[in-house]
Amino acid sequence: SEASPAPSPKKAGSVEFEQQRVEAEKRAKEEQEEAEAREAGSRLAVLFVITPEQHQKTPKLVETVRRWCDVSGAQGAVLPSPDVLVAALARFADEVVGRRVTDPAPESPACSPVSVRL
């Protein structure tokens, strides 16, 4: 059996250079995708309920949730009960709307029937 000829140093260098170029492009693309994901994640609010009982069973869960938020860039809060979650969401909605969202909606032209021309 014949041994295959050794590649010329010039050809071996160009193959190595091409592999390095491909790896560098792959790393650059991954870094860009990660930056885009963090930017998108920074617009997220994560509200996670971990009851005191759950915290006793899995004390590292809070740390894990906070780490997920840090990695993704999301704003996170750990709440002690579903009731606190509902109250927090209601308060946020009240602030956004400018009134209590549980009150009847005020009459407005936006609520009137829409006429459509055919």
Burial class, 108, CB count within 10 angstroms (exposed 0-12 / middle 13-18 / buried 19+): exposed
Query: Mean pLDDT for each consecutive 10-residue tract of the chain (118 residues)?
Result: 58 81 93 84 86 95 92 90 91 82 70 49
Report the pLDDT value the prediction gives residue 118, as an integer from 0 to 100: 45
d(CA 68, CA 27): 22
Count Cβ neighbours within 10 Å for each residue of 37-59 and write b for 16 or more, e otherwise.
Answer: eeeebeeeeeebebeeeeeeeee
Residue 26, pLDDT score: 95
The partner residues of 59 in beta bridges, in order of sequence, read none
3-state secondary structure of 115: coil
